[in-house]
Amino acid sequence: MVNVHPDAWVSPHAILTGEVTVGAGSRVLDLAVIHAVHGPVVIGRDVVVMEHAVLRGRVQHPLVIGDSVMVGPQTHLNGTHVEDEVFIATGASMFPGSHAGAGSELRINSVLHVNSRLAPGTVVPIGWIAAGDPAELFSPDRHDDLWAVQKRLDFPGTAYGVDRDTPMREIMRRQSQLYAPKGR
């Protein structure tokens, strides 16, 4: 059930499906996709969701966005929690179980990894990755250091509900079933 506050506006060219709540004064622009079929998406007050953003709720990880948040174009927010006054720039990605503290910034093409917690006021630089709880910041050239933290965050278990050694064929069979049209 989509619930849009009377003081909010959703473009007729955006797609909202499932259990979506949009707070007062918020705006959802053209071609944004808010998919809450497999878990709720709750958007607070005075939030702007820009063009081509994809927001997805999950059963174990609802997507919750606080008040006064900018969700930039071509962002991907999946089962994350965003506190108030967070700036999420173009192309940023936030993964299931992650949490962005109040007043933090995720700059262009940055990533907040699964089960990672970004402290309030933290800035993730352009193209960098934040991982861990509390999150450490990694430049893209520090893959080995990132992997040492990232491996413990359990991406396969959090995102797909499987062990790390599960074959891709099995993961995708499960994903295909999850996204199959009802009754098929």
In DSSP terms, which residues pair with 16 in a beta bridge? 34
Q: What is the distance, to the nearest Å, from the Cα of residue 115 to the centroid of all Cα atoms in its chain?
A: 12
Model confidence at 182, pLDDT cuts 50, 70, 90, reads confident
- How confident is the model over 79-131, as pLDDT tens digits? 999 999 999 999 999 999 999 999 999 999 999 999 999 999 999 999 999 99
The pLDDT confidence band at residue 7, using thresholds 50, 70 and 90, is: very high
pLDDT at residue 28, as a whole number: 98
Percent of the chain with pLDDT over 70: 99
The three-state secondary structure class of 134 is: coil
- Which stretches of the chain are assigned E, i.e. beta strand? 2-4, 9-10, 15-22, 27-28, 33-43, 48-49, 54-56, 63-65, 70-71, 76-78, 81-82, 87-88, 93-94, 99-100, 105-106, 111-112, 117-118, 123-124, 129-131, 136-138
Return the bridge partners of 99, or none: 81, 117
Q: What's the pTM? A: 0.94
Sequence letter at residue 180: A
Residue at token pair 């062990």: 163
